[in-house]
């Protein structure tokens, strides 16, 4: 009843082209923004920030990035963990070598550096496709992790081989280091997420996005109608790398604070982000959010139910989590290859006709 | 003979041996890929699952005992018997066949005709599922695997003294070659011959090749695709079991066993996804290449290059020959 386009008259071209054409969607979007910016910061505490909100925000950025590459441009990448590591280490080097610059810019520059690295590893995509490419991106994953492990310059010759985030402030409020407040880190990540989502959304519905989708659907046909595959694929790798790099930088500096590369940015991280976009929905901005939320919440819920309520040992719950995640992936691919986003789309379609479906 | 050269040859031989083990895993990939177009990422986890099942059956472990104990508050762990290796292997083969059937019945039957990349991602999901399932079933602690025919005829371990002695007499330098690697090589050769014989001379094997060539043509001459796919997954399960035994005996049955699948991927890229000889040659090249690279270049750049060398080699190689050494030429049409 509420969810209708009827009565919502568009009088200008830009109004017709807006992201959320239906009033109810627009209201929902603004409400979500208001709650995220004006309500949650006042009620958030350390547990909620560290267990749910920070990982969700940061993974959502990574999922956005990977979704552009896999969901929109069709180039499967298993190197996300490695690229996140590039973002993290770039951020660390920048933070320690240029302490006078605001961390906000460090994070953005780390994104740029990751984009450059991502482009280098994306170059083979012009020759190889499908899972040949997927396996080739594994080269990035293993090589980058090895590089950050072995070359001491990257971790400033520290004895432990770890990198630790020094204390940095934005507007005089600490966002990294040990003495941060939950709301400050939350807001810092939220700003990046909202900006990333806006950029991603507008890129994907513009010319760049259409080129990516043309390449995804059939690259030879796309080439024939005048899409330059070199530019399209490389730009997808660059944009994807930018977002993934930002998420890696935030993951290290704001969320964890100290990182050992093999443990944090291993191959499992690549799979985790890939699972997020499969479950959330390939080729959908909303899907990146939904998938990230789902896979961040699932372990928390399982832990609360399994360990706290039923009193099972943690290792059994961890194994059970593997089983559930694996089964869910298969189930989603069978039942709904377009993920949670498609379920949401179907629901919206039903809502339009509700309560009189004929 | 100069010491350095002898040492290099030894590294080369050891590389060949580990290449055989990589090829063993890669074989399972090729079988499934040829017959069903599925790139089975779960092959490594299948090897882990097979090895864990074998150990579990041998030691008479109660399946899911940890889970049962957690739910019911009981304390059961073992049946209290010990099963002979040969019988245990036979039972594990049955489990792998059941697994193949279940995978076909519950997963891939519903995904027929999907894009290859979707199938690939489904096998990643399957890999996670199997990994958690195996841990739930048998527990995640590191187990030792001993396969013995009789009480004192087990899989050999340690250095082969005969080779050490002979080469010492010949060259003045004793080669260090692991007994287990030699066994693995022999087993792999037998396995490949058996597979070739199976696919050339039996009815089912020919049907398998027909399906690999053309699904629809195979259907039209009355070959049951479902049956062939279960068969192929079973054969791949058997190959996984052999790989699991070899790797498990070498480094213990533990989670890292499933990572050998990741090592098999560059082997496949190098050799081509569709070629059994490609898997073997690719495995040998990767095995030798990474050992020699670690030997010569490794010390210069800080070591542990084995983690990534295979991938970078395959990546560079693919840029020049996208279908791999022996792969079928990729033809694309609009």
* Measured distance CA(B122)–CA(B190) in Å, rounded: 32
| Closest to B292 in 3D by CA, of B24, B4, B2 | B4
CB pairs under 8 A between A and B: 145
Enumerate the residues of chain B whose CB falls inside 8 A of the CB of residue A324. Answer: 132
Helices (H), chain B: 3-36, 43-58, 65-72, 85-106, 116-138, 161-171, 179-201, 203-213, 215-220, 225-251, 260-271, 276-296, 298-301, 306-320
Virtual CA dihedral for B260, B265, B270, B276, nearest 10 degrees? 80
Q: Which of A131, A139, A151 shows the shortest C-beta gap to B116?
A: A131
Low-confidence ranges of chain B (pLDDT < 70): 1-2, 148-164, 167, 171-175, 302-303, 327-328, 330-334
Q: Which of residues 73-112 of A touch B (CB under 8 A)?
A: 74, 76
User: Which pLDDT does position A242 carry in this prediction?
Assistant: 94
Q: Do A330 and B122 touch (CB under 8 A)?
A: yes
Tokens describing residue B64 = 């899911």
Q: Which of B132, B136, B311 shows the shortest C-beta gap to A138?
A: B311
Q: How confident is the model at residue A239 (pLDDT cuts 50, 70, 90)?
A: very high
Over 60: is that where the pLDDT of A320 sits? yes
Question: Would you call the peptide bond into A3 cis, given omega within 30 degrees of 0 as the criterion?
Answer: no
B102 touches chain A (CB under 8 A): no
User: Which pLDDT does position A238 carry in this prediction?
Assistant: 94
**pLDDT 10s digits, A258-295:** 888 878 888 888 988 988 888 888 888 888 999 999 88
| Average pLDDT over every residue of A205-219 | 90
Question: Where are the strands (E) in chain A, listed by range?
Answer: 163-164, 169-170, 173-174, 258-259
For residue A325, give how far its alpha carbon lies from the nearest alpha carbon of chain B (Å): 7
Using CA coordinates, name the residue in chain B closest to A277. Answer: B121
* Residue that wins the pLDDT comparison between B261 and A344: A344
| Closest to A85 in 3D by CA, of A134, A33, A155 | A155
A197 touches chain B (CB under 8 A): no
B121 touches chain A (CB under 8 A): yes
**pLDDT 10s digits, A4-41:** 777 778 888 888 888 787 777 888 888 888 888 888 88
**pLDDT 10s digits, A134-149:** 877 888 888 888 888 8
Q: Do A142 and B135 touch (CB under 8 A)?
A: no
User: Which pLDDT does position A136 carry in this prediction?
Assistant: 79
User: Which pLDDT does position B159 carry in this prediction?
Assistant: 67
| Closest to B160 in 3D by CA, of B185, B186, B182 | B182
| Closest to A271 in 3D by CA, of A77, A128, A117 | A77
| Closest to B174 in 3D by CA, of B3, B288, B329, B317 | B3
User: Which pLDDT does position A246 carry in this prediction?
Assistant: 94
Mean pLDDT for chain A? 86
Helix axes B85-106, B43-58, angle to 10 degrees: 140
* Measured distance CA(A262)–CA(A120) in Å, rounded: 22
Q: How many CB atoms lie within 10 A of CB B293?
A: 18
For residue A241, give how far its alpha carbon lies from the nearest alpha carbon of chain B (Å): 19
User: Which pLDDT does position A64 carry in this prediction?
Assistant: 93
B42 touches chain A (CB under 8 A): no
Separation in Å, CA B32 to CA A207, B26, B245: 40, 10, 20
User: Which pLDDT does position B172 carry in this prediction?
Assistant: 66
Enumerate the residues of chain A whose CB falls inside 8 A of the CB of residue B67. Answer: 316
Over 80: is that where the pLDDT of A51 sits? yes
- Residue B176, classified by CB atoms within 10 Å of its CB into exposed (0-12), middle (13-18) or buried (19+), is middle
Mean pLDDT for chain B? 79
Enumerate the residues of chain A whose CB falls inside 8 A of the CB of residue B306. Answer: none
Q: How confident is the model at residue A109 (pLDDT cuts 50, 70, 90)?
A: very high
For residue B319, give how far its alpha carbon lies from the nearest alpha carbon of chain A (Å): 6
User: Which pLDDT does position B155 carry in this prediction?
Assistant: 65
A305 touches chain B (CB under 8 A): no
B133 touches chain A (CB under 8 A): yes
What percent of chain A lies above the pLDDT cut of 70? 99
Q: What is the ipTM of this complex?
A: 0.81
* Measured distance CA(A70)–CA(A244) in Å, rounded: 13
Which domains does chain B carry? 3-320 (1.10.3470)
Q: Which of B117, B136, B312 shows the shortest C-beta gap to A323?
A: B136
Q: How many CB atoms lie within 10 A of CB A302?
A: 17
* Measured distance CA(A307)–CA(A313) in Å, rounded: 6
User: Which pLDDT does position A292 carry in this prediction?
Assistant: 92
For residue A279, give how far its alpha carbon lies from the nearest alpha carbon of chain B (Å): 11
Q: How confident is the model at residue A199 (pLDDT cuts 50, 70, 90)?
A: very high
Residue A45 DSSP label: -
Enumerate the residues of chain B whose CB falls inside 8 A of the CB of residue A223. Answer: none
Using CA coordinates, name the residue in chain A closest to B269. Answer: A132
Q: How confident is the model at residue A113 (pLDDT cuts 50, 70, 90)?
A: very high
Enumerate the residues of chain B whose CB falls inside 8 A of the CB of residue A74. Answer: 117
Mutate to test the interface with A, among B261, B293, B308, B323 (most CBs of A within 10 A): B308
The strand pairing partners of B143, in sequence order, are B253
Residue B115 in 3-state DSSP? coil
Residue A173 in 3-state DSSP? strand
Over 80: is that where the pLDDT of A247 sits? yes
Residue A185 in contact with residue A175, Cβ under 8 Å? Answer: yes
For residue B177, give how far its alpha carbon lies from the nearest alpha carbon of chain A (Å): 28
**pLDDT 10s digits, B204-251:** 888 888 887 777 888 898 888 888 888 888 988 888 888 888 878 777
């Amino acid at each position: 009843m509420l969810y209708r386009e009827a009565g919502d008259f568009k009088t200008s071209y830009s109004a017709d082209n807006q992201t959320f054409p239906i009033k109810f969607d627009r209201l929902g979007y603004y409400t979500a923004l208001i709650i995220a910016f004006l309500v949650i910061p006042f009620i958030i505490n350390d547990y909620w920030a560290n267990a749910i909100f920070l990982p969700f925000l940061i993974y959502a950025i990574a999922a956005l990035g990977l979704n552009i590459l896999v969901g929109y441009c069709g180039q499967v990448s298993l190197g996300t963990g490695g690229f996140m590591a590039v973002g993290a280490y770039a951020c660390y080097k920048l933070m320690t070598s240029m302490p006078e610059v605001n961390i906000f810019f460090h994070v953005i520059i780390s994104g740029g550096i990751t984009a450059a690295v991502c482009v280098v590893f994306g170059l083979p995509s012009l020759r190889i496709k499908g899972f040949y490419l997927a396996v080739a991106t594994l080269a990035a994953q293993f090589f980058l992790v090895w590089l950050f492990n072995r070359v001491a310059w990257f971790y400033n010759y520290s004895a432990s081989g770890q990198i630790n985030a020094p204390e940095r402030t934005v507007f005089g409020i600490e966002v990294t280091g040990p003495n941060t407040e939950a709301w400050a880190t939350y807001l810092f990540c939220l700003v990046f997420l909202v900006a990333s989502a806006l950029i991603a959304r507008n890129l994907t519905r513009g010319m760049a996005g259409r080129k990516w989708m043309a390449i995804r659907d059939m690259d030879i046909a796309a080439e024939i109608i005048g899409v330059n595959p070199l530019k399209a694929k490389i730009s997808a790798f660059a944009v994807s790398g930018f977002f993934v790099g930002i998420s890696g930088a935030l993951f290290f500096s704001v969320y964890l604070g100290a990182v050992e590369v093999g443990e944090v940015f291993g191959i499992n991280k690549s799979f985790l982000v890939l699972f997020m976009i499969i479950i959330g929905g390939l080729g959908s901005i909303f899907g990146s959010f939904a998938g990230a939320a789902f896979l961040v919440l699932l372990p928390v819920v399982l832990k609360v139910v399994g360990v706290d309520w039923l009193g099972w040992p943690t290792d059994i719950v961890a194994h059970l989590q593997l089983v559930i995640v694996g089964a869910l992936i298969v189930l989603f691919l069978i039942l709904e290859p377009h993920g949670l986003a498609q379920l949401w789309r179907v629901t919206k379609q039903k809502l339009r006709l509700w309560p009189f479906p004929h | 003979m100069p010491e350095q050269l002898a040492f290099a040859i030894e590294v080369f031989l050891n590389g060949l041996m580990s290449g055989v083990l990589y090829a063993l895993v890669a074989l399972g990939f090729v079988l499934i890929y040829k017959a069903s177009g599925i790139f089975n990422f779960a092959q490594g986890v299948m090897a882990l699952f097979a090895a864990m099942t074998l150990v579990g059956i041998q030691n008479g472990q109660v399946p899911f005992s940890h889970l049962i104990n957690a739910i019911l508050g009981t304390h059961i762990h073992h049946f209290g018997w010990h099963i002979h290796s040969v019988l245990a292997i036979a039972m594990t083969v049955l489990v792998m066949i059941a697994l193949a059937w279940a995978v076909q019945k519950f997963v891939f039957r519903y995904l027929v005709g999907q894009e290859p990349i979707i199938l690939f991602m489904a096998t990643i999901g399957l890999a996670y599922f199997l990994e958690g399932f195996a841990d739930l079933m048998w527990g995640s602690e590191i187990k030792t695997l001993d396969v013995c025919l009789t009480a004192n005829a087990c899989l050999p371990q340690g250095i082969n003294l005969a080779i050490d002695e002979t080469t010492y007499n010949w060259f003045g330098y004793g080669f260090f070659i692991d007994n287990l690697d030699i066994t693995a090589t022999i087993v792999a050769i037998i396995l490949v011959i058996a597979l070739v014989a199976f696919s050339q001379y039996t009815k089912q094997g020919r049907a398998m090749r027909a399906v690999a060539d053309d699904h629809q043509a195979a259907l039209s001459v009355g070959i049951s695709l479902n049956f062939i796919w279960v068969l192929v997954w079973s054969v791949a399960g058997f190959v996984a079991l052999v790989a699991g035994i070899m790797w498990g005996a070498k480094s213990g049955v533990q989670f890292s066993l499933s990572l050998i699948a990741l090592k098999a991927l560059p082997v496949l890229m190098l050799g081509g996804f569709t070629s059994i000889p490609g898997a073997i040659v690719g495995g040998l090249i990767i095995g030798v290449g990474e050992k020699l690279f670690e030997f010569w270049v490794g010390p210069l750049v800080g070591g542990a290059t084995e983690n990534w060398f295979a991938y970078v080699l395959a990546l560079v190689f693919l840029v020049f020959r996208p279908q791999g050494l022996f792969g079928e030429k990729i033809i694309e049409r609009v």
